[in-house]
Amino acid sequence: MSSAVRKPRKLTQWGVFTMDLTFVWVIAWRELREALRHKWLWFFATGFAVLALALSQAGLATAGYAGLGGFGRTAASLINVILLFAPLIGLSVGAGTLAGDRERGTLTYLMAQPVSRADIFWGKALGAAVAVASALALGFGLAALGLAAARAGRATVYLSLVVYTFLLAFAALAMGFVIGTLARKSAAAIGVALVVWLVLVFAGDLGVMGVTVSLRPSPDALLAMLLVNPLQVFKLGAVYGLRATLDTLGVAGQYAVFRFGAALPWLLAGLLAGWAILCFGLAYALFNRRGDL
């Protein structure tokens, strides 16, 4: 980093903060290497890859009889796996990034260098995002090989699922950064991230079902309850991308199709991207306001 300091700084300014892109890339590369050495990241990535490959092989076994139907069942099963692994990977990596560096004293060392808080935060966010994307790409690559061997499904549908998954993972990563910004210990940050993951995964469906049975909300209210949960947003978008029947989407999904029509996929993708932007912005604001590291 010392060699970069001697060069004239090339600053890029957005709004209220200024970043040196050279330092951002240096910090991002370091963060990527640190994340790829994290055993839990590879544990989650391997689990996702094994399940994705197994599901694609199930599609291979049924493709000869069911054609696109076999691919549809495989993709639907893959969606359920993604709902478990993608937010778990994003939350755990995001929560451990800043909290772990704070606990080890790495943040103190970085702040002693001629770098800004924006350089540090966005460099770490970029490196963590690339690490999460790499972990997910391993599973999707193996699943794509299996589906290609089965000659099942369409590439555009599969790519749509990949895009929604990456958006969900980045939204979870951003939420993890919020947790890591507030936590002082890595273990505490990971613990809170697991609690958030459990709430999003299990309380989402059960909570909506309970509210529906007890309060009988209007279609607008029911749809709003779904759209505030990024996992439900992903599920609705992924299932809609499979060109499934309206019955598969449920009552709220049918109402969403009726309400938004062909603009629904773009709306859902925008909501996931909005979750990521909002949480990253909140995490940066909290990180920038902290007097301690």
pTM of the model: 0.84
User: Where would I find the beta strands (DSSP E) of the chain?
Assistant: 11-14, 17-20
Predicted local distance difference test score (pLDDT) of residue 193: 93
- Domain range for residue 68? 20-289
Predicted local distance difference test score (pLDDT) of residue 13: 52
Residue 217 domain-assigned?
yes
Tokens of 241: 């991308």
Predicted local distance difference test score (pLDDT) of residue 263: 87
Residue 10 domain-assigned?
no
Residue 136 domain-assigned?
yes
Residue 7 domain-assigned?
no
Residue 225 domain-assigned?
yes
Q: Report DSSP state, residue 274.
A: H
* Number of domains making up the chain: 1
Q: Tally Cβ neighbours within 10 Å of residue 120.
A: 24
Predicted local distance difference test score (pLDDT) of residue 49: 79
Residue 191 domain-assigned?
yes
SS3 14: strand
Residue 206 domain-assigned?
yes
Splitting the chain (293 residues) into consecutive groups of 10 residues, what average pLDDT does each group show?
Answer: 45 55 86 79 80 69 47 73 90 90 83 84 93 88 70 72 93 95 89 92 72 72 82 88 65 78 88 96 89 53
Residue 13 domain-assigned?
no
Distance (Å) of CA 244 to CA 86, 180, 204, 233: 22, 38, 22, 16
At CB < 8 A and 24+ separation, what contacts does 193-196 make? 193/91, 193/92, 193/94, 193/95, 193/96, 194/91, 194/92, 196/91
Alpha-carbon distance of 238 to 235, in angstroms, equals 5
User: Of the candidates 252, 240, 128, 245, which has an alpha carbon nearest to the alpha carbon of residue 180?
Assistant: 128
User: Of the candidates 148, 135, 40, 48, which has an alpha carbon nearest to the alpha carbon of residue 96?
Assistant: 40
